[in-house]
Amino acid sequence: MDQSHSNASQSRSVDRKTIEKNRRIQMKALYSELNSLLPQTSRAPLTLPDQLDEAANYIKKLQVNVEKKRERKRKLVATGSSSMSSSGGVSVPRRLPKIEIQETGPLLLIFLVTSLEHKFMFHEIIGVLTEESGAEITYAGSSTVDDTAFHTLHCKVEDCDHEASSRISESLKKLVNNFN
């Protein structure tokens, strides 16, 4: 009976050693994976406790960044809610086109700011000016920054009276407001 007890004791000891060996292998793999997720530094390899400290600091830094981004998102949603349109239950931000018209005698200076999705409006305004109003376009310019298009038009109104310029201004504003 002593021999069977001795064999059982050896068997348990081998099982414990195997379990401990497997646990150490698994922990080493987990440490390695954790270290691979950290930003690489050009310094010499760190000891295991230093790696754990660096991982903890990195996680704290990420948490702070996430909180800052959440706060920024909350502020953007709060300030942008007035310029949001809801379609099908989903909120989609819209940048509405804006037009400014300055009358200087027979010249009209037209400034149009649109999002890229309303960029076609520049063509629409040129059509209104040339076809419907008979105005002569003396300058047309356009530039794009990020997702915003800036358009500038200078046109000469053939009828030099204030009434013709006002009529053209109103029709252009009406065209832009139809998209708002």
3-state helix vs strand vs coil in the chain, percent to 5 = 55, 25, 20
Task: CATH number for 2-79: choose from 4.10.280, 3.90.930, 3.40.50, 2.60.40.
Answer: 4.10.280
Cβ-contact 99, 110 below 8 angstroms: yes
Nearest Cα to 108, choosing from 132, 128, 138? 138
Sketch the domain layout of the chain as residue ranges.
2-79, 95-177
Fold entry, domain 95-177: Alpha-Beta Plaits (3.30.70)
Has this prediction a pTM greater than 0.95?
no
Residue 159 pLDDT = 64
Residue 162 pLDDT = 67
Q: CA dist 77 to 74, 107, 116, Å?
A: 5, 41, 21
The alpha carbon dihedral of 12, 16, 17, 22 has a sign of: positive
Residue 180 pLDDT = 59
Residue 82 pLDDT = 46
Residue 168 pLDDT = 81
pLDDT tens-place values along the chain, 180 residues long: 556 666 667 777 788 999 999 999 999 999 888 888 888 776 678 888 988 898 899 999 999 999 998 888 888 777 755 444 444 444 444 567 888 888 887 788 899 888 888 778 888 888 888 887 778 889 999 988 888 889 999 988 876 566 777 788 888 888 888 765
